[in-house]
Chains A and B, each alone.
Chain A
Amino acid sequence: AQSVTQPDIHITVSEGASLELRCNYSYGATPYLFWYVQSPGQGLQLLLKYFSGDTLVQGIKGFEAEFKRSQSSFNLRKPSVHWSDAAEYFCAVGGNQAGTALIFGKGTTLSVSS
């Protein structure tokens, strides 16, 4: 079955500390992977995406993610978290067939402490 698992429901990180949000996927075809961020009252904003090539992808706001096929993972990282990063983060997987809807994880809520 196709699915995305985000094992951590809620994470609290100190401002300035590093961050890693976990994402594991199960997908029967070549996966295309995404991370979205949702701030309160806002729509989803695309942080980064992986289609092919270099397995370490850079995104906006200083985020990066690494695709590890052997581990079926696509973890999101940031070296130094800012208070404005507090939000909900969603990992999603899609395929290369026409009209493939994205399959989302349940999200990880990030809180940033001062």
Chain B
Amino acid sequence: GAGVSQSPSNKVTEKGKDVELRCDPISGHTALYWYRQRLGQGLEFLIYFQGNSAPDKSGLPSDRFSAERTGESVSTLTIQRTQQEDSAVYLCASSLVGWGGTDTQYFGPGTRLTVL
């Protein structure tokens, strides 16, 4: 079956502009995660959605970052007033039920964001 998909694959924007990144999880997966991968760094957790529960936003670096998810489907990550330090690869992952580490997360190919 189809894996996690993300769009766009690459995004170049000017400092101060808003960007929207999209994630389509694996069908039937109730949990969805956003991570950020800066050059030479590991992945940083941003936000987690589980079904209709309130999302865990504890990893969002600032109030310029927000994310939404409609039910158990598509999610969008929005970065307002982008800064150069936002340049990174943004990875989305989904898992079946989201119950901790026993539930394998499957990753999309990522969106490479470059802020000029």
Binding site for B on A (CB under 8 A): 4, 31-32, 34, 36, 41-46, 49, 51, 90, 92-107
Interface residues of B (CB under 8 A from A): 3-4, 31, 33, 35, 40-45, 48, 50, 56, 59, 91, 93, 98-102, 104-110
A106 near B41 with CB under 8 A, answer yes
Q: Which label, helix, strand, loop or mixed, suits the secondary structure of the B interface?
A: mixed
A32 touches B42 (CB 8 A): no
Given the complex, which residues of B lie within 8 Å of A51, measured CB to CB?
101-102
Query: Is A106 in contact with B42, judged by CB distance below 8 angstroms?
Result: yes
A-B contact pairs, 16 of them (CB 8 A): A31-B101, A34-B104, A36-B107, A42-B109, A43-B109, A44-B107, A49-B104, A92-B43, A94-B101, A95-B100, A96-B100, A99-B50, A100-B100, A101-B45, A102-B105, A104-B44
